[in-house]
Amino acid sequence: MDRLTRRQIIQDLKERLNQFERGNSADKGIALPVGTAFDALLPDDGLAWGSLIECLHEEGSGAADLMLRMASQVLPAGGALVVIDERGQFYPPAAAGIGIALEHTVLVRPAHSRDAVWAMEQALRSRAAAVVLAWAGSLHDRIYRRLKLAAEAGACVGLLLRPIACRDEPSWADVRLRVNAAPSPQQALGRRLRVEIMQVRGGPSRPTVELELCDETNHVRLVPRLADPTASRRRTAG
């Protein structure tokens, strides 16, 4: 899709989102189960409609892959996936390969970063989108707050990918993650990511976890923590 002006974005979103409907389950506060691995990252044993998830990452970390797999767990409930992709980082064949239904995907490529943020806000409010995935850089606190309010108003899940350089900026996200690539042993079924849960709004802090993205099944697996051998020796000695 060619890059769009703001006026074109308005018309394009309206026309393309009109074909999607969402069930009555898309109500603020209702949590959707998204699998054991993702439950380790999220409060309330699921992903709540109206929530905003921020993912801070380095280039090549696999964070976008992780967020798309999270989105794939939500989309069967109905509605569209809206991808706001100013920089051309979304690759449809790869998304289809991990279970994203492209016929339920609306791809928007704005001409400028300010239009990208504006498009995300419009999509979050639409109530036709189930998930909005976007890449963004530095955000003014007021603009970030508007995105959170838009997610709540539209009972939509927002997934926001940002560079790690933004880690010291204020965040209105319900869950804030930091994703890094992790070493993958030879017997691993796919690439591994180390995910630090930096912030859970209204909930207790959580430990860093390691996830494995299985290439064959497209599942996300929580890698078990290895027991501390020194602690084991102390118990044996005692």
Sheet of 209-214, strand order: 105-108, 80-84, 129-135, 157-163, 52-57, 175-182, 190-200, 209-214, 220-222
Residue 164, H or E segment: none
Residue linked to tokens 């409930």: 77
Q: Is 95 exposed, middle or buried (0-12, 13-18, 19+ CB in 10 A)?
A: buried
pLDDT reported for residue 6:
64
Q: Which long-range contacts (CB under 8 A, 24 or more apart) does 146-153 make?
A: 146/121, 147/52, 147/117, 147/120, 147/121, 147/172, 148/52, 148/172, 148/173, 148/174, 150/120, 150/121, 150/122, 150/124, 150/125, 151/50, 151/51, 151/52, 151/124, 152/28, 152/50, 153/124, 153/125
Per the CB < 8 A criterion, the answer to whether 152 and 54 are in contact is no
pTM, full prediction = 0.85
pLDDT reported for residue 30:
66
State residue 195 phi and psi, 5-degree precision. Answer: -120, 115
pLDDT reported for residue 158:
96
Give 6-237's CATH code, choosing from 3.10.580.10, 3.40.50.300, 3.80.10.10, 3.40.190.10: 3.40.50.300
In 3D, which of 218, 211, 234, 227 has the Cα closest to residue 55?
A: 211
Residue 191, H or E segment: strand 190-200
pLDDT reported for residue 235:
45
State the sign of the Cα–Cα–Cα–Cα dihedral 40, 191, 178, 150.
negative
Per the CB < 8 A criterion, the answer to whether 130 and 79 are in contact is yes
In which residue ranges of the chain is pLDDT below 50? Answer: 1, 24, 227-236
- Give domain limits for the chain: 6-237
Based on its alpha-carbon atoms, the radius of gyration of the chain, rounded to whole angstroms, reads 18
Residue linked to tokens 């109905």: 78
Per the CB < 8 A criterion, the answer to whether 99 and 124 are in contact is no
